[in-house]
Structure 1
């Protein structure tokens, strides 16, 4: 079976960029237990990677170190913690409020705020009670199939979250205490025009742009966050040439968007027009993150087989992806795009 590859004249050989991952035995066994994965996320300090164990209802936290003494970085996975909770029901999307607080969007539940336990080799598996669980998008509106989440800002002890309600085709906004503590949240519907299974969300570092993977239109929609957005607001930019967009991230300088394609073995890379994300954009590069054997093993239908989660470390130098058949792969961004 042949897979149509957008921008075939710009396909980058990933072999020179794929990095070695050295995994401690205990962590390797934990990764093997994950089953179907979805999102992947570095902690703000870059010392942990969270992977969503969608089918098993778990969150896997990997302790990582990046060795930069040689010509190429090496990612070391030194230990792990496995988080369980009654609030985890098909965990699909992650973000960190800070290094000790994890936000989890659950397809069959709410958005759970979890305090990460202190690491101990004597206890790697934890059953947690969430600091809070968000279940509403307004007084008369419930959250529905929350699948992705991003922290869009923290200020004065408050934290703003943007949540993709996958099968309700909307983005909701939630303002809570940054420590997840009890206080009256501010919940509202932020965006819904043009959305059709929004499957991933990211905000640019300067908070000027919001990018949403729009699964059923095979595109990424970009909203101008400098305007006062509301549920009538329409996207101003479109990223084209992706089959089934899933996880996506802005680069640390905001000048690129990386998009995982669940329907192909590639990641697509986009750049703005003179710093502006308005208008239509084709990908400037495509690079393979799965070999054929791994891709076709997971290709149960046209929407599956490719990577689901994608993230960059805080420096923007390392890019990681995950899917069921390949729980973690790592690439050196400078080798991809130079």
Structure 2
């Protein structure tokens, strides 16, 4: 399943077996779903001086539901997966405090929802099922949080910064994700300086500060390998050390 911010909301694909792949393998969507939460394909809205595409910019699956971050009304919605494959219209999960939700992910135990609050330069944490955030993560170096990912224990949160070169790791306190943290536990260089500078030079001045850094981030099934995506460089892998 792929979220498409500028087109039809969700597209569903069936991945062929690896032994049937060719050097270039074209895979067509088997179905697509649009929701009232996403607006019309290609729809935009104003955010100060720039236009923002309203469709879903991120999607994660947890326990039979798709959790989507969408710019139309600054929402995180939950969509039940149905046969087809497809999904339903969805329901609101979170919106309070959010401006440009570039990511939304649920912890493995289903207790926590993390949202990359791009425009406010922070990550918001919610108890899943509650409307108001209970935690907030910031760092003086972190510009525009984009992708976010929990580790398997739900005690570490990895944050990609679309506007900077860093990849940030935050650790939950004993009470969980219920406080404000103003500095990350650690920060790793995720994008080479020359790549970051090149992407910024290629980007229009109005949105230059939003580009160059890492956007996508996820963990392997065993929780040991972290994978990132960035506009200016190939997929990059990191080893995630166990929390201690």
Q: 2:232 — aligned with what?
A: 325
Stretches of structure 1 lacking an aligned partner (at least 5 in a row): 1-102, 154-158
Q: Which has more radius of gyration?
A: 1
Q: 2:184 — aligned with what?
A: 283
**Cα distance in 2, alignment partners of residues 291 and 124 from structure 1:** 28
Stretches of structure 2 lacking an aligned partner (at least 5 in a row): 41-53
1:187-206 pair list within 5 angstroms: 187-206=90-109
**Cα distance in 1, alignment partners of residues 32 and 171 from structure 2:** 36
C-alpha deviation, 1:169, in angstroms: 0.8
Superposed CA RMSD: 2.2
Q: 2:51 — aligned with what?
A: none
Contact preservation (8 Å) 2:3, 2:56? yes
Q: Quick check: 1:176 aligned with 2:81?
A: yes
Q: 2:158 — aligned with what?
A: 258
Match of 1:114 among 13, 38, 41: 13
- 1:246-300 deviations in whole A, cap 9, x for unaligned? 1110011111000011111110110111151011013111111122111111123
C-alpha deviation, 1:121, in angstroms: 4.0
Match of 1:151 among 47, 57, 61: 61
Q: Quick check: 1:162 aligned with 2:67?
A: yes
Aligned length: 220
C-alpha deviation, 1:125, in angstroms: 2.1
Contact preservation (8 Å) 1:215, 1:244? yes
C-alpha deviation, 1:186, in angstroms: 5.1
Match of 1:239 among 137, 162, 182: 137
**TM-score when scaled to structure 1?**
0.60
C-alpha deviation, 1:147, in angstroms: 0.6
C-alpha deviation, 1:115, in angstroms: 1.3
Highest RCO, 1 vs 2 (Cα 8 Å, sep ≥ 6):
1
Q: 1:313 — aligned with what?
A: 220
User: Runs in 1 of length 4+ with deviation above 6 angstroms?
Assistant: none
C-alpha deviation, 1:334, in angstroms: 2.5
Q: 1:133 to 1:273 in 2, by over 3 A?
A: same
**TM-score when scaled to structure 2?**
0.82
